[in-house]
Structure 1
Amino acid sequence: MGTLTGKTALVTGASRGIGQGIALRLAADGARVAVHYNANEDAAKQTVATIEAAGAEAFAIQAELGIPGDARTLWAAFDARAEGVDIIVNNAAVPGPYGHLGAIDPDEFDKVFAVNAKAPFFVTQEGLTRLRDGGRVINISTGLTRTAAMSELIAYAMSKGAIDVFTVNLAKDLGTRGITVNTIAPGVVDTDVNATWLRGNDQALAATAALSPLNRVADPAEIADIAAFLASDDSRWVTGQWIDATGGALII
């Protein structure tokens, strides 16, 4: 019996990358996992198939985030397959526009905030009536909110800063129900979204690895392991926290 046997988890943006890693790990620990995806149905189905092949349970649900009614659409799809949730992982995000302040237009700015900040807020709000007492909310942020400024990623970092504030306030609000709320803040992770500049580029890989005292780049499973701890009963006395998952890149 796993540490999460009998629990149901929702992981947004779980068809690939960090979200997929978290979905696989929570399922391995016994949870039944709702694998949310935006557009990549094949990847979501493959994630579900991988979980089921390992003897666990999962189902895919589709909802585009960052548009009106996104939270209601997501939970309607969830409700058709499950009754109640124990773990909500707000992972889905877009990288946002890459550029300095003067290069970002209002539509790009609105998009990154709609997906990265507004959607988690309302997905969680809509989910509160389904989230059982003693449950878990796990938000995925970034080390960029507490490290040296990277002005080319200003909009993305700002959107994730909103998640950090959301976490501490929600932890205070939900504590009376025994629900913990925490943030995981990764650094660079070897995922598909970083593949174009990281994989196959020895110079970029070496420079990125050097940011960490461990001198390597994380893979999704290492972020997922932290999520598994926060989802488990072992983390019952941890709430409102920002967990540095940068491999020590923030050490001065």
Structure 2
Amino acid sequence: MNRRTLAGRRFSINALRVDADESALYAAAVGDEPKAGTAPAFYSVRLVAPLWRLIYQAPELGTADQLVLHAEQRMLFHRDMRIGEVLDGHAEVRDVVGFGFGDAAIIRCTLTDTEGRSVVTMESTLAVQGSSGFPPDPRRFTQPSKKDIAVELSQYFGEETPQQYADAADDHNPLHLDDELARQAGHPRRIVHGMCTLATGISGLANKLDGRLSYVRARFTRPVLPDTAVDFTAHSSGSPNTYLVSAKHDGKAVLKSTWFRLSRIQPSTQALGGQ
């Protein structure tokens, strides 16, 4: 079956509640410190997790869960999610493209409030094994320039981290929980969720900088194994309140093309795509 037949498909799930207990569980899993009455910014991935599953488990992709790997992520936070509010989730498969030695589904998700206003917009690239010979994503993204170090953070991901994050994010892909299935997918053993690595690092850096996260972009380049420490560094850039991020284990990058912005810029005026 042609995987590109999935392009243009839309999915929705309504009445997603921003739950206090779930929010606290997610905050604990990634070490975030949201302000009172609000959920962590990255908690939004828990709300859209069922939409992601509807797409990567679709028969058109013809793949197993453990053969799906998060490759890229962009997120625009229009405002804080308030504890107790109800949101609607919408997803569209923007395209299915070539990605290295496989294919990738590019998924745009939006969380909207009861009046239809966007609260969080995100775009995720999910890579799947097996190349169909599709052309790669033609888009190019401008990266801010790197300047001085603004803040640093070292974070340890323990053996228990994948299970804790799976429960917090409603993401129980066996790639992160089952050593044998992870090996079948080409990894030495189960790996830490890419979103766990990203959320932990970016949240910690943003908290050190005492700012509200408004935008983040990342590319996952190397899986993190449990019982691993990752060193995160935020560099100032040529753009106001924008920080480039390096994330390394033993000198090897686990994230590339990664940066974030803080809330001193009005987030609703930013575009998701290019920056």
- TM normalised by structure 2 equals 0.30
More strand by share: 2
More helix by share: 1
- TM normalised by structure 1 equals 0.32
